[in-house]
Structure 1
């Protein structure tokens, strides 16, 4: 009997990742639709609902343009910028690497989720640990979109200059100090090239920016990829923003004003409370200033603690740090960021009280 072999045609791989639907999106979409419907209906008998909807919708209206702008910038980096160009810093002296890396967000304005895989890639390509960690922590703050949104949130207030300039200076200081502290640990125990960052664990997967094969002939055009990445980035950020806006509106609606004022006026309690708030909300740095600006009861030092701590450490970033650097390095990183932020903000609060 003749063995007849039937040729098997190659079938394209199923794009399972693209077809996978986040189960939280239907619930969030339904909740947002309910908010819009209720906001359009006059319900004067339910005062708390009116207040909640007013704060919630107001936060969303102000934040969405900056989230979209941040998503577009991040997508442009993904499509057009290669990390190879930044990797040339590895041949420069250590002091020069740290100095350039601290301001790297101006040239490579990635958000906090995108900075983790980029920093790891730079570290594996020879950049000193102090420079790579400094870049990772400073880029989400020393970022044109973030600086613009911070100014927009506090414009017209007497603390406008302090909030914008203070956020940049405080963020740079924390990033450099943490980078120098982490340098010794990473030099003693370098990262294993085989371990990959688990960006997907955070629900905000950016991938390694610029580390893709753009020369493949079957890839879509750059404008199309730019639009696709922008949409994906925007949806990923919006999920956290919708949740964060709801939490912020609920706090201002249901927590008694007296309790908020008590925490705000307690110097030793207000700053750590804002840090915990930033950690739990896990907002993107492009929109977090618009949320915290509404908490006018808190001092500028407490608000700066929120603005500096959130882009460096929150729930999603903790998972990414463990995946990118391992549990031991991630633990040291978390402790260093927390202690440095707390100490600097307490010193700032003391200085503001003296002045």
Structure 2
């Protein structure tokens, strides 16, 4: 026995004897029209899908409950579609956190709408994380923690290689690093090794990776410090044991090679003073010191003096170093007459007595 879905009469045949409804044709029509509802849903035409579903719930009363459930799902998707549009506007305004919050825990009935919601939610989450991390990196830059800021920007750049804001920050940090490095190199060129050490320490404090990146500078500074320490110790020993000439040579060498040691060395050099006025020419036969390596030469009086090159001889900037200031003396512009002397007769000749 079958029940007619329209008139509710029972029959054993494939057609209702009361309303002449053909059951197979009825089911086929219901299936086709229900399919149209799903087609409209897939095309995001939710309002048309809802209108058709409402009509079908009346046209096919035996499936009314199914159509009511379908209409409910369509209504939910209509609300989700509105939220999606709102979320899209928020995302376009840069409100990524609000976008992700609005789309949180939303599951659409339509697979297409669900896919769009998930995609926008994930994108908003990623952009929100990016914004937060970018602000953190920019804050590190403003606080002048350039090393940490660069690391943060480089991490962001991996996922955003075309972001010009990130590139600009990295370039600015690189210019700052180069400026600090140039100061170190300038100090090395001026033999200001203590200042170079201080500037390099500042560079490493800001950019910790610089210590390994510029290992050659680290090695040079450490080596120079060790050499200076050894020479200074040797000069101290020589001074205390009375080998004043040796001490003065060593102090003078350090004085010329290390500007920052001038205040420390100047008193020792002055203290030794004339006590070391022994001619190095007398000791040349012993080859005690290769002065060519120090840029010095020994004059005839035994004092040390810078080596004057051919270029410096003709350069007025250097001529002042070749001479020593002398104390002024009185010079008579007219010849003086000899004082009158008594004459003495010697062998018949009168000769002035100068005694």
Considering the TM-score relative to the shorter chain, is it more than 0.5? no
Relative to its length, the structure with more strand (as a share) is 2
Q: Per chain length, whose mean CA-contact separation is higher, i.e. which structure has more relative contact order (CA < 8 Å, sep 6+)?
A: 1
Task: Work out which of the two has the higher radius of gyration on C-alpha atoms and give 1 or 2.
Answer: 2
TM-score by length of 2: 0.21
